[in-house]
Amino acid sequence: MTVAAAFLASILFGVIFDVPRKALAAAGVAGTVAWVGADVLQRLGMNALGAVFLATLVSSCYGEMMARFTRNPASIFVVPAIVPLVPGAGAYFTMFHFVKGEFTLGLAKGMETLFMAGAIAAGVALVSLIFRFIKGRSK
């Protein structure tokens, strides 16, 4: 059920992000790859931060390869791919704890959320750098 939700969320975000219709399914697959990757890695015992980082690497690689294959910008695949990984619940619970006056819990949840967002950004940036470096070396 969560796999279908990740696929649907990525496609619907792709619609909002104005992804071309022909690329929507591939964007949905990218989000599914990210979600399944993070879920499997966490079930195998990896911590959430590492799982999200590695899942972002894999889904970003998929997005960069699909961009070359379809001759579209990589962002139309990469951005919908990371949507299932975005720590929205973490941000909600950070504010929830602060509003309740539980500042220690709020700070802990906020730092966890910040690190998750940083892991996603670092994964996307690293893959983008690698693909740009490869493209530059081939010219």
Compute the distance between CA of residue 109 and CA of residue 103 in angstroms, rounded to an integer.
10
Query: Quick check: 49 pLDDT over 90?
Result: yes
Compute the distance between CA of residue 37 and CA of residue 32 in angstroms, rounded to an integer.
8
Residue range 2-28: mean pLDDT, rounded: 91
Query: Quick check: 110 pLDDT over 90?
Result: yes
Type of residue at 134: I
Give the per-residue pLDDT at 1.
76
Token pair listed for 115: 């690190």
Domain that holds residue 19: 2-138
pTM (two decimals): 0.89
CA contacts within 13 A on the Cβ side of 24: 13
The pLDDT-based confidence of 96 (bands split at 50, 70, 90) is: very high
Type of residue at 57: L
Report the number of distinct structural domains present in the chain.
1
Which pLDDT tens digit goes with each residue over 56-65? 999 999 999 9
Which pLDDT tens digit goes with each residue over 114-126? 999 999 999 999 9
